[in-house]
Amino acid sequence: MMEFGLTFIILACVFGLFMAWGVGANDVANAMATSVGSKALTIKQAIIIAAVFEFLGAFLAGGQVTATIRKGMIDAELMAGSPELLVYGMLAALLAAGIWLLIASRAGWPVSTTHSIVGAIVGFAAVGLGIEAVQWAKVGTIVMSWVISPVTSGAIAFALFMSVQKLIFNTDDPLASARRYVPLYIFLVGFIVALVTMFKGLKHIGLELSILENYLVAITVGVIVMLIGIYFIRKLKFDPDADREYHFTNVEKVFGVLMMVTACAMAFAHGSNDVANAVGPLAAVVSIVQNDGEVSQKSVMASWILLLGGIGIVAGLMMYGHKVIATVGRGITELTPSRGFAATLAAATTVVVASGTGLPISTTHTLVGAVLGVGMARGIAAVNMGVVRTIFMSWIVTLPAGAILAILFFFMFKGIFGG
Amino acid sequence: MPRSYISGLFGTSPISPLQQHMAKVQATVTELIPFFKAALAEDWDKAESVRQLITTRENEADALKRELRLKLPHGLFMPVSRRDLLEVLTMQDRIANKAKDISGLMLGRQMQFPDTMHAPLLDFVDRCADATAQAQTAINELDELVATGFGGNEIDLVESMIHKLDVIESDTDDIQVAVRAILFKMEKDLPPVDVMFMYRILDWIGDLADLAQRVGSRLELMLAR
Task: Report the chain A residue with the minimal C-alpha distance to residue B2.
Answer: A324
Q: What pLDDT is stored for residue A271 in this prediction?
A: 94
CB B39, CB B124: distance < 8 Å:
no
Give tens-digit pLDDT for B189-210.
999 999 999 999 999 999 999 9
Task: Give the whole-angstrom CA distance, residue B20 versus residue A351.
Answer: 40
Give tens-digit pLDDT for A197-256.
887 656 656 666 777 888 999 999 999 999 999 999 999 988 888 887 788 999 999 999
Cβ-Cβ pairs closer than 8 A, A with B, add up to: 144
> pLDDT: is A34 or A331 the higher one?
A34
Instruction: Provide CB contacts within 8 A for A287, sequence distance 6+.
Output: A70, A296, A299, A301
Task: Report the chain B residue with the minimal C-alpha distance to residue A27.
Answer: B4
Amino acid identity, position B27: A
Q: What pLDDT is stored for residue A294 in this prediction?
A: 64
Task: Please count the other Cβ atoms lying within 10 Å of the Cβ belonging to residue B4.
Answer: 28
Task: Please count the other Cβ atoms lying within 10 Å of the Cβ belonging to residue B102.
Answer: 27
Closest CA to A256 of A296, A288, A229, A291: A229
Task: Give the whole-angstrom CA distance, residue B126 versus residue B31.
Answer: 10
Cβ distance of B153 and A170 shorter than 8 Å: yes
Q: What average pLDDT does range A18-38 have in this prediction?
A: 90
Chain A positions touching B6 (Cβ under 8 A) are 29-30, 33-34, 37, 328, 332, 364, 367-368, 371
Give tens-digit pLDDT for A334-352.
789 999 999 999 999 999 9
The H-or-E segment that residue B157 falls in is: helix B152-186
Write the residue in A37, A161, A383 that is nearest to B11 by C-beta.
A383
Q: What is the ipTM of this complex?
A: 0.85
Give A40's DSSP letter.
S
A332 to chain B, minimum CA–CA distance in Å? 5
Closest CA to A200 of A53, A358, A363, A366: A358
Cβ distance of B9 and A368 shorter than 8 Å: yes
Using an 8 Å CB-CB cutoff, list residues of chain B that contact chain A. Answer: 1-16, 73, 75-79, 143-144, 146-154, 225
Q: What pLDDT is stored for residue A372 in this prediction?
A: 95
Instruction: Provide CB contacts within 8 A for A59, sequence distance 6+.
Output: A271, A303, A306, A307, A310
Percentage of chain B beyond pLDDT 70 is: 98
Cβ distance of A335 and B10 shorter than 8 Å: yes
User: How many Cα neighbours within 13 Å face the side chain of B177?
Assistant: 5
Q: What pLDDT is stored for residue B2 in this prediction?
A: 52
The angle subtended at Cα A71 by Cα A66 and Cα A73, nearest 5°, is 100
Q: What pLDDT is stored for residue A291 in this prediction?
A: 78
Q: What pLDDT is stored for residue A204 in this prediction?
A: 59
pLDDT band at A417 (very low <50, low <70, confident <90, very high): confident
Q: What pLDDT is stored for residue B1 in this prediction?
A: 45
Q: Round to the nearest angstrom and report the end-to-end CA distance of chain B.
A: 41
Q: Tell me what the pLDDT averaged over chain A comes to.
A: 89
> pLDDT: is B183 or B11 the higher one?
B183
Task: Report the chain A residue with the minimal C-alpha distance to residue B157.
Answer: A170
Q: Does A336 touch chain B (CB under 8 A)?
A: yes
- Angle at which helices B44-70 and B15-30 pack, to 10 degrees? 170
Instruction: Provide CB contacts within 8 A for A14, sequence distance 6+.
Output: none
Give B80's DSSP letter.
S
The answer to whether residue B3 scores a pLDDT higher than 70 is no
Give tens-digit pLDDT for A168-186.
998 889 999 999 999 999 9
Give tens-digit pLDDT for A344-385.
999 999 999 999 889 999 999 999 999 999 999 998 988 989
Give tens-digit pLDDT for B32-46.
999 999 999 999 999
Q: Is the dihedral of CA A23, A24, A25, A29 positive or negative?
A: positive
Give tens-digit pLDDT for B88-124.
999 999 999 999 999 999 999 999 999 999 999 999 9
Q: What average pLDDT does range B4-18 have in this prediction?
A: 86
Lowest-confidence segment of A33-37, A298-302, B147-151, B196-200 by average pLDDT? A298-302
Write the residue in A110, A165, A383 that is nearest to B10 by C-beta.
A383
Chain B positions touching A372 (Cβ under 8 A) are 77
What is the distance of C-alpha A290 from the center of its chain?
28
Give tens-digit pLDDT for A261-287.
999 999 999 999 999 999 999 999 988
Please tell me whether residue A384 adopts helix, strand or coil conformation: strand
**Phi–psi pair at B23, nearest 5 degrees:** -60, -40
The H-or-E segment that residue B170 falls in is: helix B152-186
Q: Is the dihedral of CA A286, A288, A290, A293 positive or negative?
A: negative
